[in-house]
DNA sequence: ACCTCGATTCTAGCATCGCTAGCCAATCTG
DNA sequence: CAGATTGGCTAGCGATGCTAGAATCGAGGT
């Protein structure tokens, strides 16, 4: 079995190598620079090996998204734990979310904007995605009013954050006022929860 | 002058032909189907004529965006005029906005999601864009609380709508509950303006 | 009526993209 | 050591956005 396990281990190593190379290349030069040829050169293999690990370029991006989402979940959690009170929780998580999106735009896009077919709002969704949403849910639930479904309220708050990010990143909203818009969003979701 | 003006008129006609062909093709088969070759075949000219009118494919999409934005502005206006009261105005405009996005996804993407370089939040922005934002502004301003800057509040509300649309359209939010999420967003922006 | 010349449109091609077929070599088995 | 099998690589396909240079059309003068 030793020979077989060594092969599988090397294969798994190379798969990680592909995903991290794709992420680093995307973070340093944008997703447009992540071509299959360029990525193959980066890992010092030929193009077709990519397709022996992943179904296609989309699958590689999906892997980057899942891995990056785990990072996001951690950052959301630590942000929430560093604040106290419902309103502070919501604000801290919202700021951590947008900070992540601005600091790592390529990863954020892989997770939330690029058309990569990952199951999202279903039980089959990858664990990191559910973890990240769970962190949002924990921050939003305490400010839900009676009759509000926490899940739906979380999705709505999330949409607000996502809209701010995407419109600003594409130049449709001026970046200068981002902080004030974010504060407005938080304020309107925490009305009456001083 | 007659011959010159006729030429210019024909040229303008063909430019309109290009834009409408691009829009119709995008609306019926999606932007992926709008290749320069396909578009050239659709207007029964060869590829290079596209480049004698527009700098490139992006410029054609920008033209579709500007034209479509005029439609959006009209729909937002009629929605607002069909309602009475600050809360009803905000709700009507929000519903009209999302309805437009769902009914004409290709045009919506050209305006708000695809990376097309149009000046947005500046005085140089094309008039239809300013008109559409102005309609949102008119609906939001009445529910702004003292101290809130209407412009920023409008941008924040707009971001909420845009986030709901993009996350739902990409499958990241279940479409079934869209109406309830939209209602939640509106409710949180109209707290205290029954 | 014809010819010239300038403007305009088309043919053909470039570089690059994601992806794949089929050869070739290295490695394991008997 | 010979045969078989796994796995990577070379080469190429079809399609993309875009462009250079040939070809064609039409206006104006003689």
Q: What domains does chain B contain, in order, with CATH numbers?
A: 1-53 (1.10.10), 58-189 (1.10.357.10)
Would you say the C-beta of B115 is within 7 Å of strand D? no
Among A72-81, B14-23, B142-151, the range scoring the smallest mean pLDDT is: B142-151
- Please report which confidence band the pLDDT of residue A143 belongs to, taking 50, 70 and 90 as the band edges: very high
Residue A118 CB contacts under 8 Å (≥ 6 apart), including other chains: A62, A65, A66, A125, A126, A129
The residue lying closest to nucleotide D10, measuring its CA against C1', is A46
Chain B partners within 8 Å of A161 (Cβ): 163
The answer to whether residues B136 and B100 touch, using CB atoms and an 8 Å cutoff, is no
Residue B1 has pLDDT above 60, yes or no: no
Q: Which residues of B156-166 are buried (b: 16+ CB within 10 A; e: fewer)?
A: bbbbbbbbbbb
Residues 119-178 of B with CB under 7 A from strand C: none
Q: How far is CA A149 from CA A78, B182, B193, in A?
A: 25, 13, 22
Residue B29 has pLDDT above 60, yes or no: yes
CA distance A110 to B146: 39
Residue B171 has pLDDT above 60, yes or no: yes
Q: Does A141 touch chain B (CB under 8 A)?
A: no
In the block, residue with structure tokens 């979701």: A189
The answer to whether residues B187 and B157 touch, using CB atoms and an 8 Å cutoff, is no
Structural tokens at position B30: 């999606």
Alpha helix (H) residue ranges in chain B: 2-29, 36-43, 47-53, 57-81, 86-103, 105-112, 127-140, 150-169, 178-189
CA distance B172 to B37: 33
Residue B19 CB contacts under 8 Å (≥ 6 apart), including other chains: B60, B63, B64, B67
Structural tokens at position B81: 């005029």
Structural tokens at position B56: 């490139």
Average pLDDT over residues A134-159: 96
Structural tokens at position A5: 């396990």
Output phi, psi for B55, to 5 deg: -65, -30
CA distance A56 to chain B (A): 18
Would you say the C-beta of B35 is within 7 Å of strand C? no
Radius of gyration of chain B (CA): 19
Q: Does B141 touch chain A (CB under 8 A)?
A: no
CA distance B108 to B177: 21
Average pLDDT, rounded, for chain A = 95
The answer to whether residues B148 and A184 touch, using CB atoms and an 8 Å cutoff, is yes
- Please report which confidence band the pLDDT of residue A7 belongs to, taking 50, 70 and 90 as the band edges: confident
Task: Write the pLDDT tens digit of every residue in B33-73.
Answer: 999 999 999 999 999 999 999 999 999 999 999 999 999 99
Nearest to A71 by CA among A114, A107, A109: A107
- Of B148, B162, B177, which is closest to A152 when you measure between CB atoms? B177
Protein B112 CA to nucleic acid D1 C1', in Å? 69
CB contact under 8 A, B156 and A166: no
Residue B115 has pLDDT above 90, yes or no: no
- Please report which confidence band the pLDDT of residue A191 belongs to, taking 50, 70 and 90 as the band edges: confident
Residue A144 is predicted with a pLDDT of: 95
The region that residue B48 occupies, defined by phi over 0 for left and psi between -120 and 50 for alpha, beta otherwise, is alpha
Share of chain A above pLDDT 70, in %: 96
Quick check: helix, strand or coil at residue A34? coil
CA distance B77 to A194: 36
- How many Cβ pairs within 8 Å bridge chains A and B? 104
Residue A169 is predicted with a pLDDT of: 96
Q: Give the residue on A whose Cα is nearest the Cα of B160.
A: A160
- Of A112, A121, A167, which is closest to B159 when you measure between CB atoms? A167
Alpha helix (H) residue ranges in chain A: 2-29, 36-42, 47-53, 57-81, 86-103, 105-112, 127-140, 150-169, 178-189
- Of A148, A155, A170, which is closest to B173 when you measure between CB atoms? A155
- Of A163, A174, A184, which is closest to B153 when you measure between CB atoms? A184
The residue lying closest to nucleotide C28, measuring its CA against C1', is A3
Q: Give the residue on A whose Cα is nearest the Cα of B147.
A: A184
Structural tokens at position B180: 């309830």
Q: How far is CA A76 from CA A73, B50, B52, B59, in A?
A: 5, 48, 50, 39
Alpha helix (H) residue ranges in B30-56: 36-43, 47-53
CB contact under 8 A, A167 and B180: no
In the block, residue with structure tokens 């996350």: B167
Q: Does A175 touch chain B (CB under 8 A)?
A: no
CA distance A182 to A95: 8
The answer to whether residues A83 and A92 touch, using CB atoms and an 8 Å cutoff, is yes
Q: Give the residue on B whose Cα is nearest the Cα of A143.
A: B188
The answer to whether residues B160 and B185 touch, using CB atoms and an 8 Å cutoff, is yes
Note which residues in 73-112 of chain A have CB less than 8 A from chain B.
112
Residue A194 is predicted with a pLDDT of: 55
């Amino acid at each position: 079995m030793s020979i077989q396990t060594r092969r599988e281990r090397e294969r798994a190593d190379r798969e990680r190598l592909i995903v991290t190379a794709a992420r680093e290349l995307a973070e340093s030069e944008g997703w447009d620079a992540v071509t299959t040829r360029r990525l193959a050169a980066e890992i010092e293999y030929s193009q077709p090996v990519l397709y022996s690990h992943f179904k296609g370029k989309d699958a590689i991006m999906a892997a980057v998204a899942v891995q990056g989402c785990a990072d996001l979940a951690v950052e959301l959690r630590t942000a929430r734990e560093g604040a106290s009170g419902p309103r502070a929780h919501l604000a801290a998580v919202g700021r951590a979310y947008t900070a992540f999106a601005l600091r790592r735009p390529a990863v954020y896009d892989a997770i939330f904007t690029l058309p990569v077919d990952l199951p999202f709002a279903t039980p089959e969704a990858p664990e990191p995605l559910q973890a990240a949403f769970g962190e949002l849910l924990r921050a939003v639930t305490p400010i839900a009013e009676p009759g509000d479904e926490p899940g739906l309220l979380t999705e709505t708050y999330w949409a607000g954050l996502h809209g701010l990010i995407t419109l600003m990143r594409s130049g449709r909203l001026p970046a200068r006022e981002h902080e004030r818009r974010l504060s407005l969003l938080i304020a309107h979701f925490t009305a009456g929860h001083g």
